[in-house]
Amino acid sequence: MRLSLEPMKLFLVPLLFASLTSAQQGPVDVNATGLISAQDLLAHTDHIIFNITLEQFRFTRKSGLWGALDWSSDGCSHSPDNPFKFPFVPACYRHDFAYRNYKRQKRFTEINRERIDNNFLKDTVSWATRDACRHLAKVYYLSVRRWGARGVTMDNPGVEVKMVDTKAGVPTAGDQTSGKLVSKEDKDMKEAMVNYLQAVDHAQRANQLPGPDLKGKRVEVSIANDKLEVKQYNRNETTDD
């Protein structure tokens, strides 16, 4: 169903109260018989994305309420590998909810996309208990910043791509010849991946994450072709090295 954004048009959808129940009590409190204007629907969409906790979002999503909104999600299927099963899926659900409803409501601008992506980083980091988890959250964030611009409306269509001289490590003009020119996004991504690998190595040496010296699965993480590469082996299996 396509939503009209005319402020006066009404939809028969649950009405979200301003006061919220706690995550332990269940989903966001609603009045199932209320009428809400399209303009209020936009405000409540923002409320679900930015103002309630991730735990409250999970309960609300499972409740089956708010049929006028798009709750579909493919989880974290397009994100980098997560071999240690860090709990990013709920954050991916909310990120998908935000992208898809902002697109349906025709307000998916670059400014709004940045706000949504920043909230995604906040969600992923909020559940992180290890340095490796926090650094992988940064990799996830940079991935959506790099690849999530499809569908951005033309009032603010994109972000300026800054070039970085890898020798100097500072923004430079496009005709600079010393070093290799890469986008700032690429430089930030490489730095985030290196930080993640270092955190994984430290945690594996401290027996805090599965690694070559632990029983069960052996997990090795590396960077190949500017992407994270994950290899998993059974306990007695050897590598090709």
Catalytic residues: 95
- Quote the radius of gyration of the chain (alpha carbons, Å): 21
CB 123 within 8 A of CB 114: no
**Cβ neighbours of residue 40 under 8 Å, at least 6 residues apart?**
none
CB 220 within 8 A of CB 231: yes
Torsional class of 207: left (φ above 0), alpha (ψ -120 to 50), beta (otherwise) = left
Tokens of 170: 């500072």
Q: How far apart are CA 86 and CA 129, in angstroms?
A: 9
Burial of residue 240 (number of CB atoms within 10 Å: 0-12, 13-18, 19+): exposed
How many helices (H) and strands (E) in the chain? 6, 9
Tokens of 131: 């340095």
